[in-house]
Structure 1
Amino acid sequence: MQKQQEYIAQLDGLRAFAVALVVVFHWFPEGEGINVIANGPLGVTLFFVLSGFLITRILLASRGYLATHGLGATYKNFMLRRMLRIFPLYYLTLLIIWSIQYIDFVPEVSTQLYSDPGYYLLYISNFLIEKSHNWFDVLSPFWSLAVEEQFYIFWPFVVLTVPLRYMKRTLIATVILGSASRWVLGYFGYNEGVLMPTCLDSFGLGAIWAYVSYYDKSVVKFLKVLNVLALAGLAVFLFICFNNVDALPKTLLFRTSMSLFCLYLVAKASYGSGFPSIIGSILDNAFMRHIGRISYGLYVYHMLVPTLVVPLIVKICNRFLHITLDFSNYSLKLVSLIVLILLATASWYIFEAPFIKLKKYFQLSRVDAPRTDTSLN
């Protein structure tokens, strides 16, 4: 069995890759140049597969708490630790965006937070996207954060309560459900693909790898099969990107094809010593790992920096320092990138990390169940 590390360095490198894809997608024209490939959906899918793997891995380990603490305390502990990681920055950002509407000097922000705050406060902004189809909202990328939170709420009940002898079939069914739900919901007019069930194939594939690697269920054989499936997934993904594919095949296959390729990246990076040679060196690079570490802040801020933060800096320089800053299209992107990295870095060290350190107060004493545990059967 592979040793269950607390920290897998190359996964931070993958997070850096994922958030870079999202930034490129939103900062450059869609469907043109570098965005001929669906970079944004690919980046978000990589985040989903990563979450499926890491969260399931945590929950499989948490089964050892059930005998002494029960389901309620184990679930509560898991959720509190998740909340410490994601809630502070999320709600601070909402508070700031809400407050600046009353400050005339601050540039206006185009967001439905002002008209429909409940969707954001309750982590259901993906429902707002499905309802309004408004992708011009500066907070529209928060739909994926909503999906992740909804996944965190229900997934522990699956992993902590399903008997291990049924776990493999349950995870496979989860993948199938994700693809099928896109077709069913699309039939009823819900075509945006932002509702949580439509993302279950991404989460489920990550969860399958967590199960296989945690219990050492023929890992080598699994990786050999995955090599073939990932290549097929990449081929289907690229075919859909470069061709006008009918709605039904695209609905069923697009996210699943991306998920298979992303699963290959996650599995290779998290097994053994990770990717070797050049790819491994890139993922292990200190800068890439730093970008991965601050990727949550980068994701939260990346739409706000070019539309709010940089214009505010320009106004401040003009008003108080009597300096006129005039950026071309590409120089604005470069300045925005520098500001984004600096802002997310400061956010990590000053605001996010202190909350993460509080996790040490939410730890349960552990009684390991055997890896062939059938105590919940």
Structure 2
Amino acid sequence: MSRSAATFYRAELDVIRFLAFFLVFVHHVLPHQAEGFSRHFGSQAAAILAAVANGLGFGLCLFFFLSAYLITELLLREKTRTSGVELKRFYQRRILRIWPLYFLGIGIGIAIALVTRSTADFRQFLAYLGLVGNWYVAAHGWSDNPMTPLWSILIEEQFYLLWPFVIKATGTTGTWVCAALFGILGLTETNRLASAGAQLDYEIWANTLVQFMMFSAGAVTAIALQGSAPALGRVWRCLLAIVGVASWFVAAIGCNAKGIGAAPSGLSIPAGYALAALGCICIFLTFIGTLAKMPWTLVYLGRISFGLYVFHEPAIQIVHGATVALGHPLGYLSMSPLALALTIVVAVISFKYFETPFLRGKAKLAVIDTRPGN
């Protein structure tokens, strides 16, 4: 697929998007501390399961990786095709794709904060309105407001403020260097925070500079592939999948990079995040360029993954609250299918009736057409 082509769409990327969402969904349903598993498992097994549950949050890193890969690939294609990058049209497309649903989510979050009379939540969403909400989370910790996961959208927005200018202003070598510097900056910041004993689950996790490692990995992958996809056999793809999953397991269990509490000093936390980035690369390469036909259902769910992400935490809380109110509280295994089904229903409605008009406007501004079937 030449970078001079006017279209770029790969169904397998939508499948990866859904995989990333599903991992985050399960991460938010499962307990994050060993006590949540100790009723059914021994203390050692419960600790391992809690680490795995926390490690599933690396699905968010996969989202960041994909964003960097796609933005880098599309901007490089635009630059090849037109000898430039139209920054105004880029930001118009990003606004039409992200802001309508993002600000709807903020509105819901503020409404909940007003109903619950939570001053802290109200301040949090004011920070979200200013596009710096992830830094608020990093400073103050998590809220029970179901729209809190919108913090991660802000990290992507901050990446978008920088990266298009890099690609517009630099050649291939310069883009390589800047992508590598993003990764080095992420490692350096992670090491600094860990050395200071920062909280793993919010001070480090919600830090933009820490997550730059994932953006670096995605950008480097796009540059390295030069607009094509590797022609790998099934054995290689299986090995990549194993390495990817193993990297995340070691990052979560061995390095405790996605744990809870104060970070230990030393290299375990930076190494864990580096392994998380490696896992993203391997999982991506497992899917990209495969000749296997992607299941239509998973492709569609990947296309609506933004809505799935925005609405999944409210769905989890609604299902949990409803079962408690009925006097039959469900465990996480029983609750998960109901919450997932509700998430999908709401996301489908949002995509069809709310997001699609904005997406039509975005398509009119596209330099590289990313719609399926073209």
> Identity of paired residues, percent?
27
Deviations 1:300-351 (CA, angstroms, capped at 9, x unpaired): 111112324774x789xxxxxxxx8454314444322221110111111111
**Residue 267 of structure 1: aligned partner:** 285
1:10 aligns with 2:12: yes
Q: Supply the distance in 1 between the matched residues of 2:89 and 2:172 (Cα, whole angstroms).
A: 22
Q: Give distance in 1, aligned partners of 2:323 and 2:223.
A: 50
Structure 1 109/204 Cα, relative in aligned 2: closer, same or farther at 3 Å? farther
Given the alignment of the two structures, is residue 149 of structure 1 paired with residue 157 of structure 2, yes or no?
A: yes
Cα distance, 1:126 vs structure 2: 1.0
Query: Do the aligned partners of residues 328 and 252 (structure 1) sit closer, same or farther apart at CA in structure 2, a change above 3 Å counting?
Result: same
What CA distance in whole angstroms lies between the structure 1 residues aligned with 2:55 and 2:296?
24
**Which whole-Å CA distance do the structure 2 matches of 1:255 and 1:308 have between them?**
33
Q: Could you say which residue in structure 2 is the equivalent of 1:211?
A: 223
Residue identity matched to 2:10: I
Q: What is aligned with 1:360?
A: 363
Partner of residue 85 from structure 1, selected from 77, 97, 101: 97
Work out whether residues 184 and 213 of structure 2, in 8 Å CA contact, stay in contact via their aligned partners in 1: yes
Matched residue of 1:141: which SS? helix
For this pair of structures, how many residues does the alignment match? 338
Instruction: Deviation per CA, 1:160-197: give whole Å up to 9, x if none.
Output: 11122333233223222221221134445654232211
Per the alignment, do residues 97 and 129 of structure 1 end up closer, same or farther by CA in structure 2, a change over 3 Å counting? closer
Q: What secondary structure sits across from 2:191 in the alignment?
A: helix
CA distance in 2, matches of 1:341, 1:150: 28
One-letter amino acid of the structure 2 residue matched with residue 302 of structure 1: H
**1:210-249 alignment runs, 5 A limit:** 210-214=222-226, 234-243=245-254, 246-249=264-267
Q: For residue 219 of structure 1, report the CA deviation from its aligned partner.
A: 5.8
Does the CA contact (< 8 Å) of 2:109 and 2:125 recur in 1? Answer: no
Q: Which runs of 5+ in 2 are unaligned?
A: 38-45, 257-263, 370-374
1:22 to 6, 21, 24: 24
SS in 2 for 1:114: helix
* 1:189-218 deviation per Cα after TM superposition (whole angstroms, max 9, x unaligned): 6542322111111111111121122356x9
- Measured in 2, the distance between the counterparts of 1:300 and 1:163 equals 36
Distance 1:353 1:55, change over 3 A: same
Cα distance in 2 for residues equivalent to 1:225 and 1:309: 41
Distance in 2 (alpha carbons) for counterparts of 1:109 and 1:242 = 38
Q: Is residue 184 of structure 2 the alignment partner of residue 184 of structure 1?
A: no
For 1:261, the aligned partner's letter is: G
Secondary structure of 2:12's match? helix
Change (3 A) 1:111 1:179: farther
Letter in 2 for 1:336: A
Distance 1:365 1:289 in 2: 20
Q: Which residue of 2 aligns with 1:319?
A: none
Change (3 A) 1:41 1:247: farther
Question: Normalising by the residue count of structure 1, what TM-score does the alignment of the two structures yield?
Answer: 0.77
CA distance in 1, matches of 2:125, 2:249: 37
TM superposition shift of 1:135: 5.2
CA distance in 2, matches of 1:2, 1:85: 25
- Whether the 8 Å CA contact 1:113–1:120 is kept in 2: the answer is no
Q: Is the 8 A contact 2:237 2:287 kept in 1?
A: no
Once residues 365 and 20 of structure 1 are traced to their aligned partners in structure 2, the CA distance between those partners, rounded to angstroms, is: 28
In 1, Cα distance between the equivalents of 2:51 and 2:141?
A: 22
- Tell me what 1:371 maps to: none
